[in-house]
Copies of this chain bind each other. A is one copy, B any other.
Amino acid sequence: MENSNIQTHVEYVCRAAKEASRAYGSTSTAKKNALLCSMADQLTADCEDILAANADDLSAAAENGVPRTMLDRLKLDEKRLAGICAALREVASLPDPIGSGEQITRPNGLVIRHVRAPMGCVAMIYEARPNVTVDAAALCLKTGNAVVLRGGKEAIRTSVALVESMKQALDASGFSPDLIGLITSTDRAGATALMNMRGLVDVLIPRGGKGLIRSVVENARVPVIETGAGNCHLYVDAAADLTKAVKVAVNAKCSRPSVCNAIETLLVHKSVAHQFLPMMAEAMADYKVEFRGDETACAILPTATPATEEDWDTEYNDFILSIRVVDSIDEAITHVTRYSTGHSEAIITEDMTAARRFQSEIDAAAVYVNASTRFTDGGEFGFGAEIGISTQKLHARGPMGLLALTTDKYLVEGDGQVR
């Protein structure tokens, strides 16, 4: 498509979604839940077409030399589609935040209800992950919102098939199919146009790699919720139980290094560094972790190479760990404060005064004492569903469940009161 056509297409999709959201916002919880279940039924019925579209995406992607890990994320089969439908039914079973709230009566008789209300139109920009297409639609529809989706170009045939199937369920349930919009232009211009739909897009949530998120945060003129980037630290205090510290360090670095809640830097108090670092290195041996240390760490661990200033600032997403030996908890807090992206930070200590101070002074969505940073996740926190992990302070912070997709509204009723 030419850029002017892309602009027209994106505006058309967003306007239709925004207009459809108006009447949809007051739909009852029972009707919204029934809709989500009928979407799951429809996706199951359309399994053959969806898998065929996915097979076309996969072969095109393989031809274009897309890396194997990305192909694996893109791939659907009957089992994965069943999992996606099960997640949809799980969203249907969650409590509906919309409409809940407090009511007060003022001395003049005015009744003020402070309620949770839908945002209106939520947009998502994400990568080639078919499950996000359905998850995002489910979470937005559950909270009375319309959704506009712009997924990765490698998954475009799959996205079209999934969205067509969900639109059919909307139509059959008596709702406007416009409630789920899909940007079918996979050019960068499609994403750019979406970032500029002021007045039509009430909030835009980017979900994916660092480059995608940075581009959205820097270029969007619609409200954005920043997700994802995690330069996470583990601080092993002077008063740490070193057995716990080794177990947590191995888990936080090695269980899944590609995700945002994995650690990138280990800070260790000088009084325990000589004992702890060799224990940790041995426990990480199977994972062939590369160590990059400051001078003291390199002196203790012969396999470590010197860390540069850039290392402290890098989210490796790989089996690499930077290590710094600190003189005090103050130095640890200063380091974390300087380099943290505000995602997840942890201290290992048996000294509860040190633990409290770390939790209070470290400015991050989740601050752990004696546990792995890998727990920062909607499912692990018991939210049942997650639309991303916010690293900003406004509106939502940490794993975002249904509540993050709502705003507030004051409904005021009187009998002719004036001020």
Contacts and interface: CB of A to CB of B under 8 A. Distances in A.
Interface of A: 22-23, 25-26, 104, 106, 110, 112, 119-120, 202-203, 223, 225, 241, 243-244, 247-248, 250-252, 255, 337, 355, 359-361, 363-372, 374-376, 380-382, 392-398, 407-419
Given A393-B223, A394-B225, A410 B365 contact: yes
A243 B243 CA distance: 77
Contacts of A255: 418-419
Given A371-B414, A372-B419, A398-B410, 9 more contacts: A22-B363, A112-B382, A119-B393, A223-B394, A252-B418, A368-B412, A370-B417, A376-B410, A393-B407
Nearest to A406: B393
Contacts of A397: 407-409
13 contacts: A112-B381, A112-B382, A252-B418, A359-B411, A366-B410, A368-B412, A368-B413, A369-B413, A370-B413, A371-B412, A371-B418, A375-B412, A398-B410
Nearest to A390: B408
Contacts of A407: 393-394, 397
A95 to B, nearest CB: 14
A112 B382 CA distance: 10
B413 A360 contact: no
Contact of A367 (B375, B392, B412): B412
A248 B415 CA distance: 10
A247 B418 CA distance: 7
B367 A414 contact: no
Nearest to A416: B244
**Nearest 5 CB-CB pairings of A with B:** A371-B414, A251-B418, A244-B416, A393-B407, A26-B360
A419 B361 contact: no
A416 B247 contact: yes
A396 B394 CA distance: 9
B110 A416 contact: no
A368 B120 contact: no
A418 B359 contact: no
B106 A382 contact: yes
Contacts of A251: 418-419
Contacts of A365: 408-410
Contacts of A250: 418
| Residue of A251, A410, A417 most packed against chain B (CB within 10 A) | A410
A202 B395 CA distance: 13
Nearest to A226: B223
A63 to B, nearest CB: 37
A32 to B, nearest CB: 14
Nearest to A366: B410
A166 to B, nearest CB: 24
Contacts of A355: 413
Contacts of A408: 365, 396-398
Contacts of A22: 337, 361, 363
Contacts of A367: 409-412
A22 B358 CA distance: 11
